[in-house]
């Protein structure tokens, strides 16, 4: 797993720069593009690059948004099958397309047939751009885009926690993006300040860009005076930090969880302390059990990849990376003791129901890992 670092896909900013460079270098646009991933900021950037390229060629820009209350499926299908009458070509942008092309969608077959027919028909000038937060790389539409020479831009969220081989929080992708954005906007910000802003704002690029507005107006004040804690913490990442023994990040995450809650998939924020505790504890329990199974397997075989398989870790690169970092932190006996600590907290909740952030802070301190010294 460690050896796979070099094979990692380029980060979203690099992919978007490569997209712009390829369009600039080529005389024609490919027949299709896929823009997919959780980070809306990058999806909008990629769409802007493509829209400018279409406009530069005199193409008509036609937008369809599946989340728009006025979305009309018949019009989308007509646009995919009709030849533009007046423009030199047509760029058809299908936004939030996942509900239209997922297998169990009512009209998925019709939409997919129309998209594939458009992509594979080079006779009429133009292109289709399919944009979605959740669209798998192995989806038939994405495969068709790649088959005809188009590009699939993966707009994933930036890594916001340091890997075990480089534990400096100032070097994580999210902080580096914020520093680059500050330079682009000519705002003075050093790496330590950027790490603080990212920690208290969260992994939301639009929110981080707004935080830079406040940094730009700080004058003689410090960054902490103008950027307060607004980001919703992730119960899953906080559980990860706690398991890994990263006490500073775990303590900050626990404080944020019980102060501002966590963000649900639909964008709403859960602030109820009991609900926050239940979700957090469920994630923590799962990570501890997986880590114990992995530590036992690793101590037996010395093979981290086999240990991951034995522990049932998914093939997701980040899941594998986090698993390895956890397992290398402590031996199996220590994981058993941590599971006992959590069982004691659960026992107390059943007896009197009084458990709060302080109990989790105690765990963060008790489970802290000794910092590893760098080899000179």
Residue 161 lies inside a defined structural domain of this protein? no
Domain end: 98, 131, 154, which one? 154
Token match 């018949």: residue?
74
Residue 375 lies inside a defined structural domain of this protein? no
Give the count of alpha carbons within 13 A of 340, CB side only: 7
How crowded is residue 146: how many other Cβ atoms within 10 Å of its Cβ?
Answer: 14
Domain end: 154, 186, 208, which one? 154
Are 241 and 362 part of one and the same domain?
yes
Q: What is the CATH number of the domain that holds 205?
A: 1.10.8
Domain that holds residue 66: 10-154
Task: Tell me the Ramachandran region of residue 202: left when phi exceeds 0, alpha when psi lies from -120 to 50, beta otherwise.
Answer: left
Are 24 and 126 part of one and the same domain?
yes
Are 52 and 186 part of one and the same domain?
no
Are 283 and 346 part of one and the same domain?
yes
Are 201 and 268 part of one and the same domain?
no
Are 62 and 173 part of one and the same domain?
no
pLDDT along the chain (376 residues), means of 10: 52 94 84 94 96 92 92 93 77 94 82 93 89 92 94 93 81 95 95 90 88 90 82 81 88 83 72 85 93 94 92 86 91 94 86 78 88 46
pLDDT at residue number 205: 92
Residue 212 lies inside a defined structural domain of this protein? yes
Residue 41 lies inside a defined structural domain of this protein? yes
How crowded is residue 192: how many other Cβ atoms within 10 Å of its Cβ?
Answer: 12
Structure tokens at 105: 């969608």
pLDDT at residue number 5: 43
Residue 3 lies inside a defined structural domain of this protein? no
What lies within 8 Å, CB to CB, of 25 at 6+ separation is none
Residue 204 lies inside a defined structural domain of this protein? yes
Q: What is the CATH number of the domain that holds 272?
A: 1.20.272.10
What lies within 8 Å, CB to CB, of 355 at 6+ separation is 277, 345, 348, 349
Q: HEC profile for 191-222?
A: HHHHHHHHHHHCCCHHHHHHHHHHHHCCCCCC
In terms of Cα–Cα distance, which of 56, 131, 57, 123 is closest to 92? 131
pTM of the model: 0.67
pLDDT at residue number 372: 52
What lies within 8 Å, CB to CB, of 59 at 6+ separation is 84, 87, 88, 89, 90, 91, 125, 126
Are 122 and 65 part of one and the same domain?
yes
Residue 376 lies inside a defined structural domain of this protein? no
Residue 2 lies inside a defined structural domain of this protein? no
What lies within 8 Å, CB to CB, of 95 at 6+ separation is 47, 63, 64, 65, 66, 67, 131
Question: What's the count of helices (H) and strands (E) in the chain, helices before strands?
Answer: 17, 7
pLDDT at residue number 265: 67
Give the largest CA-CA distance in the chain: 74
Number of structural domains in the chain? 3
Q: What is the CATH number of the domain that holds 107?
A: 3.40.50.300
Are 58 and 173 part of one and the same domain?
no
């Amino acid at each position: 797993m460690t050896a796979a670092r070099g094979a990692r896909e380029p980060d979203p900013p690099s992919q978007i720069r490569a997209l712009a460079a390829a369009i600039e270098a080529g005389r024609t646009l490919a027949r299709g593009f896929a823009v997919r991933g959780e980070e809306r900021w990058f999806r909008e950037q990629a769409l802007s690059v493509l829209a400018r390229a279409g406009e530069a060629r005199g193409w008509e820009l036609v937008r369809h948004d599946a989340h728009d209350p006025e979305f009309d499926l018949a019009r989308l299908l007509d646009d995919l099958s009709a030849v533009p009458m007046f423009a030199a070509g047509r760029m058809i942008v299908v936004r939030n397309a996942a509900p239209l092309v997922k297998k169990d969608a009512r009209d998925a077959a019709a939409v997919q047939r129309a998209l594939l027919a458009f992509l594979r028909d080079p006779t009429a000038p133009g292109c289709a751009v399919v944009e979605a937060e959740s669209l798998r790389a192995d989806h038939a539409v994405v495969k068709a885009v790649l088959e005809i020479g188009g590009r699939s831009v993966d707009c994933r969220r930036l890594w916001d926690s340091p890997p075990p081989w480089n534990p400096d929080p100032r070097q994580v992708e999210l902080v580096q993006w914020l520093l680059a954005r500050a330079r682009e906007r000519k705002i003075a910000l050093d790496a330590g300040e950027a790490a603080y802003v990212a920690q208290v704002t969260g992994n939301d690029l639009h929110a981080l860009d707004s935080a830079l507005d406040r940094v730009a107006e700080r004058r003689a004040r410090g960054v902490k005076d103008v950027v307060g804690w607004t980001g919703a913490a992730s119960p899953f990442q906080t559980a990860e930090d706690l398991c890994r023994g990263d006490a500073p990040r775990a303590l900050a995450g626990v404080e944020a969880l019980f102060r501002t809650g966590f963000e649900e998939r639909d964008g709403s924020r859960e602030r109820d302390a009991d609900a926050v505790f239940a979700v957090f504890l469920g994630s923590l329990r799962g990570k501890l059990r997986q880590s114990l199974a992995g530590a036992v397997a690793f101590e037996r075989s010395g093979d981290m990849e086999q240990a991951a398989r034995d522990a049932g870790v998914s093939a997701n690169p980040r899941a594998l990376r986090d698993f390895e970092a956890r397992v290398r932190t402590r031996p199996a006996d220590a994981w058993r003791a941590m599971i006992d600590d959590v069982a004691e907290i659960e026992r107390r909740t059943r007896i009197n129901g009084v458990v709060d952030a302080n109990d989790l802070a105690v765990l963060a301190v008790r489970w802290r890992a000794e910092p590893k010294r760098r080899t000179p």
